[in-house]
A and B are shown apart, each in its own frame.
Chain A
Amino acid sequence: MLTALRQEYVLRARIKFTKEGPVTYVGHLDFMRFFQKCIKRTGLPIRYSEGFNPHQIMSFASPLGVSVASTGDYLDIDLKEHVSEAEALDLLNANLVDGVKAISFNYLPDDAVKCMTAVTACSYIVGYKDFSSLGKSESEITAGIKSFYIDSEAINIEKETKKSVRSVDLKPLIYQLSFDENTKEYTMLLCSGSVENIKPELVVDSFHKFLGLEEANRLNLYITRTDMYTGEADSLISLGDIK
């Protein structure tokens, strides 16, 4: 009986969206409420949970920190009926605000894992609002990245959590790290998800420490998440490419 229920036909769709500008100051819980109301306005036939207080079946891949922008975030919703992908995308964009845009809407294969569980890596661009305040030249940063990441065996740091401080080797958790001397921005691909979750600020802080600089002032950084991925480190697939 239970199996029969579970096998009920589920139409799960994945929405890829951006979050930029003033909306980056909206915290994750408020942003989820914003999307619930957006979906309600679209009239998309979203499924609701059972019970006295039914809620929309919707899940976000991973929260964004306040002031962190994104050009590639994801959420999944369950629908009761099929709506064409183009129509759904139009409906969503008519009900979003400046800075939040739905880039794609596509149905997931039956065996697809929910985005929240699936995500294993995220890519970021991180830059300095005032690069000159670092007191380092572009080439020094490039050289620093080479010895900090590319040529190093391990990057051992102390990672603080709410409860404790523990030693972590960042090296295997940073899948890519480079610096562009023209834009003065880092590009990073970092391990993400429930087992290990590496934030870009932590990487910048560790790098600063390595260079003998002060901890990065969060107010001097701008961070954009550019995409989210699933799979093993050597075979990552964008969450948007699961179709």
Chain B
Amino acid sequence: MRKLALPDHILMQVDKPARYVGNEFNATIKDKDSIDIRIAMCFPDVYEIGMSHLGIQILYAMFNKREDTWCERVYSPWPDLHKLMKEEKIPLFALESQDPLKDFDIIGITLQYEMCYTNILQILDLSGLALYSKDRGNDDPIIIAGGPCTYNPEPIADFLDICYIGEGEVSYDALLDLYKAHKNSGHYNKQDFLKEAAKIPGIYVPSLYTVEYNDDGTIKEFKSIYEDIPSTIERVLVTNLDEAPYITKPIIPFIRPIQDRVVLEIQRGCIRGCRFCQAGMIYRPNREKSVEVLKAQAEELLKASGHEEISLSSLSSSDYHDLGPLMDFLMDDCLSEGVNVSLPSLRIDAFSLDIMKKVQDVRKSSITFAPEAGSQRMRDVINKGLTVENILDGSSKAFNLGWQKVKLYFMLGLPLETDEDAKAIPQLANSVCAKYYEIPKDQRVGKCQVTMSTSFFVPKPFTPFQWAPMYEPGEYLRRAKLVNDTMKEQINQKSMRYEWHDADITVLEGIFARGDRRLAAAIKDAYENGAVFDAWNEFFSMDRWLEAFERNNISLDFYAYRQRDLDEILPWDFIDIHVSKEFMKREWNNAVAASVTPNCKVRCSGCGANCFKTGVCVESKN
């Protein structure tokens, strides 16, 4: 029997001890003595969330395909265990071997949201590693981060040895081959390895670049310290998804993960070009998998997992070119007894509703729309490309098919948003309710329930809104109150409900999203004063962060509330995602003019991503 890193008396004291014992079905066990490279893949949040992440499972399968590499997993220990590990000086370990992380060659961390930044420090700290890259030596693991947050890695750059900019399937083989050559040379030197690594496409080594600032705090110059490493990091991406590595044997956790189902990625990128959406920009161009490949993957994954649900994953499933045939296959040929299919990210039209009626119990389930903004003007500003007719027709069809619960997702506090735009949110919800009450009374059962949910908008790098100012927390809450008050004036208010998010976390997220290297000291300070699991309301303290900012001379005005100049050097400008800054500026101007830009299938808008010569950029336009 495997030995566990945590003794029984600790496992008996902590919540959900199965988070820490590994041993899941399909987890990869190798003989560590016949391995050159040991990698620990980390999702810096609790096990149930981390285990639901598709990207790590793809990389795990890809790394373990290499005979010279053993990739294991690690997640953030919950605060109850964190405390016990500190008290009893137990180092953080990987799930499969239960060996300390300090013994690994590489720790790979995926960064999906900014609020996990203190959890990165927790992982390093509990592993017994120095927090700053410069303080770690040749015997310490190389710390690599990837994922959407690394499109502006600067706030956490000082903690990391390498940032991987782009899609993981592309450059890791080259990086691992290089690491192995350096390690087996007999005179491994971290700095020498990093300097060579920096020449691999998509690999950013923060310590090899310096930043100078202007008197006003903006960036004066960002440059590499060696001539022979690139001054710009180019995003790497998969050009043929059908041939890209995918999961064949998903790990099946004992504890129920957030995604307790097969996740089938049907496409990457999105044709829509919503101006607030970072994913819609950094994954350009839209690339689809073929139906044939998806059919084979669906069958294999259902068989290998024993899951009773399969979910299609993409930014906008309705835009997948062959959704009808794929769904027919899944429902008619593939799904054995007891297996369901779920379909998030659908646009609500007749076709989608027809599919959803087949796969859901309409009486119990709710249907979700994301109009994102209440007024037509605002939807045009954000380029949502959805008309009020689309929304009301979709609602009407959903109600006629038997749904009674509708969820509407909006953003509040968008750039250029007026009070009238905020009030339009409950007005739209009221019109949706009205569609329900148009059904003759004898054909409907009771009331409908329309839930509006608003999240406060956070401007993200590499979007046309990257220059926009944020509002102070009080202003977000004023807008939420405006929505709430206006809801109460609506005829159908008794059928409506409203939920909104925390405003403090929004501002903090915005600071990290667009921050620079000077934030690192404040993040370390906050961690050392107890900040961890900041994405969890029960652990988040705004005061702790405000104190850390104050001690480290971080100005909220500078990072959150000011309007950035279109010509300012932004902290992430050294990354070339191959969607041009000119395009972003053009789209910002279109936003100001409330002018809609057509989607990539209708017309190319010349964003620059066609240089990859793949996906929607090379497919014929109808």
Q: Is the CB of A30 within 8 A of B255?
A: yes
Chain B minimum-CB-distance residue to A27: B18
- Selected from B9, B18, B308, the residue in CB contact (under 8 A) with A26 is B18
Contacts of A33 in B (CB 8 A): 254, 256, 260
Cβ–Cβ < 8 Å partners of A38 in chain B: 25, 306
Residues of chain B contacted by A231 (CB below 8 angstroms): none
Which of A94-102, A160-168, A178-186 has 4 or more CB atoms under 8 Å from chain B? Answer: A94-102
CA distance in complex: A54, B256 (Å): 19
**Contact A26 B254, beta carbon cutoff 8 Å:** yes
Given contacts A22-B23, A26-B18, A218-B12, contact A36 B1 (CB under 8 A): no
Contact B1 A30 (CB under 8 A): no
Report A-chain residues with C-beta under 8 Å of the C-beta of B2: 21-22, 98
Residue of A nearest to B361 (CB): A52
Number of A-B contacts (CB under 8 A): 83
Q: Is the CB of B11 within 8 A of A30?
A: no
Binary per-residue interface labels of chain A (56-94) against chain B in the complex, 1 for a CB within 8 Å, 0 otherwise? 100000000011000000000000000000000000000
- Min CB gap A66→B, angstroms: 7
Closest Cβ of chain A to B384, distance in Å, is 34
Judging by beta carbons under 8 Å apart, are B8 and A67 in contact? yes
Size band of the A side of the interface?
20 to 34
User: Is A205 an interface position by the 8 A CB rule?
Assistant: no
CA distance A26 to B17 in the complex (A): 7
Q: Which residue of B lies closest to A37 (CB)?
A: B306
B252 touches A34 (CB 8 A): yes
Is A41 close to B, CB under 8 A? yes
Report if A203 contacts B (CB, 8 A).
no
Pick the contact of B11: A27, A67, A99 (CB < 8 A): A67
Q: Count of chain B residues with Cβ under 8 Å from any Cβ of A? A: 29
CA distance A40 to B306 in the complex (A): 5
Residues from chain B with a CB closer than 8 A to the CB of A55 are 338
Q: Closest approach, in angstroms, between the C-beta of A69 and any C-beta of chain B?
A: 10
B603 at the A interface (CB under 8 A): no
Cα A39 to Cα B25 in complex, Å, equals: 13
Interface residues in A1-42 by Cβ distance below 8 A to B read 20-23, 25-27, 30-31, 33-34, 36-41
Query: Pick the contact of A66 from B12, B24, B256, B308 — CB < 8 Å?
Result: B12
CB distance from B41 to the nearest CB of A (A): 20
Using a CB-CB cutoff of 8 Å, which residues 194-247 of chain B contact chain A?
A: none
A30 and B338 contact, Cβ closer than 8 Å, known pairs A22-B23, A41-B303, A41-B304: no
Q: Is A48 at the interface (CB under 8 A from chain B)?
A: yes
- Bound state CA distance, A130 and B11, in angstroms? 18
Most chain B beta carbons < 10 A, residue from A25, A37, A95, A99: A25
* Partner among A37, A53, A54 whose Cβ is within 8 Å of the Cβ of B252: A37
CA distance A23 to B337 in the complex (A): 28
B509-534 vs A, CB cutoff 8 Å, 1 = contact: the mask equals 00000000000000000000000000
B307 within 8 A of A: yes
Query: Is there contact, CB below 8 Å, between B25 and A48?
Result: no
Which residues 97-123 of A have a CB within 8 angstroms of B?
Answer: 97-99
Contact indicator per residue, chain B 61-93, by CB within 8 Å of chain A (1) or not (0) = 000000000000000000000000000000000
Q: Are B23's CB and A97's CB within 8 A?
A: yes
For B464, list chain A residues within 8 Å (CB): none
Residue of A nearest to B11 (CB): A25
A195 at the interface (CB under 8 A from B): no
What would 28 A/B residue contacts be, using CB atoms closer than 8 Å? A20-B1, A21-B1, A22-B1, A22-B22, A22-B23, A25-B11, A26-B254, A30-B254, A34-B25, A36-B306, A37-B252, A37-B305, A37-B308, A38-B306, A39-B306, A40-B308, A41-B306, A54-B337, A54-B338, A66-B12, A66-B17, A67-B12, A95-B25, A98-B1, A98-B23, A99-B1, A129-B8, A219-B9
Chain B residues with a Cβ under 8 A of chain A: 1-2, 4, 8-9, 11-12, 16-18, 21-25, 252, 254-256, 260, 303-308, 337-338, 361
Cβ-closest 5 pairs across A and B = A37-B306, A40-B306, A22-B21, A41-B306, A21-B1
* 19 more A-B residue pairs beyond the given contacts A25-B21, A30-B256, with a C-beta to C-beta distance below 8 A: A22-B21, A22-B23, A26-B255, A31-B254, A34-B25, A36-B308, A37-B305, A40-B307, A41-B305, A41-B306, A48-B337, A52-B361, A66-B17, A67-B11, A95-B306, A96-B25, A129-B8, A219-B9, A219-B12
